[in-house]
Amino acid sequence: MTSTLHGAPPPPLGALAPTTGTGNGAAGRSVPPPAIISRALRPGIYAPVPTFFTANEELDLVSFSKHVVRLAQAGVFPVISGSTGEAPHLTPPERTALIKAARSAFASNRLDGVPIIAGANGSSLKHSIELAYDAASAGADAVIVIPSGYFAGVTNTSDGKAALREFYIELANHSPIPILIYNYPGASGGINMDSDFLIDLAKSAPNTCGLKLTCNEIGKLLRICSVTAVPEFATSYPRKFPYIPFLVFTGYSDTLYPALIARGAGAITGLANLVPHTVRRLFDIAVTSINAGSTNHMIEAQALQSTVAQADFNLSTHGIAGIKWALSRYGADLGYDYTGGLPRKPLPPLSAGVDLQLERQLHEIIVREKALLREREQIGATAGVGASAGPNRSTTSLR
């Protein structure tokens, strides 16, 4: 099978010149530091990280930092201040503080090569550009932007769709770092960008670096990847930053294996917050089965995909509250010492009486995650080194 996942390891450490801090929304913003090529986005598993709060709803940066390090050591990269991170509940200084805390935690744990995606979903073009500058200055390597759903009724008209196209093109032109376009009708007032619209944006905005499709339409992903995931696309529509390819991610891990077969780049999935090793394992096995055409790997990937799909469905049904509850419930089982806490008001906590049902539903995947943790410890003991630096290994790729 000749397909490409854009999975070659990033070029050696280096930098490109920053974008000048001028133009719509950039006034008064400092010029971000040069881009770090070794932190280029790559195929794989990304987790939309929840924002951890104290009992009085202040940022809990200690728990947050521990969590992003735990994910990175499993080979899972963070998306900060996204939907799961309660972005609408965060102030601009809080968004910046989270990125800086993650970057500092990575540096302290020899995880400097971990890329950070940050939400920059402002309610207007000007606001989004400001958030993109803030994210870049704090240490993010790309931003992810969902359409504002406040005026969704207008945006869903023909004039509104034309305006949305111009919004993304102008945002990409002004942003100092690449943009991922985020299609999630459930969080944007029902705005659902179709494959033709998204392909056009990929061609028209060289500073876009990919898509997150939480519409979970595998046919849409396939149609887009049939255009953007072939070598001719990079030649005909070169990116502003040549070392960052155009990557298309599914927004749920229950379609990870089908998405990879369709030439997708992986998943940005909330389930990876709870069981990062399991979701990353599915990615690695799936890529190997596609590369090698191995029946044994295919069977293993299909079986693991079934387990992941069921857990993803059960956990995502309960949204942010479900993820935070699960992080609190399984710390002792999975070897970490922080809790998920509660969402910020007005989001409610997990509904009463749901916890026992969710425990039963997650039992199989928790058992699988614990087995992978034991396997990782044994490998580390055999090698005489700690189990660390997952994302600094060679990136799995499709030929």
Active-site residues, by number, are 212
Enter the DSSP assignment of 273. G
CA–CA dist 43, 35 (Å, integer): 19
- In three-state secondary structure terms, 268 is strand
Q: Which residues, 6 or more positions from 60, have their beta carbon under 8 angstroms from its beta carbon?
A: 52, 53, 54, 341
195-204 vs 158-174: helix axis angle to the nearest 10? 30
Sign of the alpha-carbon dihedral angle for 340, 249, 367, 350? positive
Q: Which residues, 6 or more positions from 55, have their beta carbon under 8 angstroms from its beta carbon?
A: none
Q: How far apart are the first and last CA of the chain?
A: 8
* 117, 44 Cβ separation under 8 angstroms: no
Q: Residue 213: count other Cβ atoms within 10 Å of its Cβ.
A: 28
Return the residue matching tokens 């992003």: 68
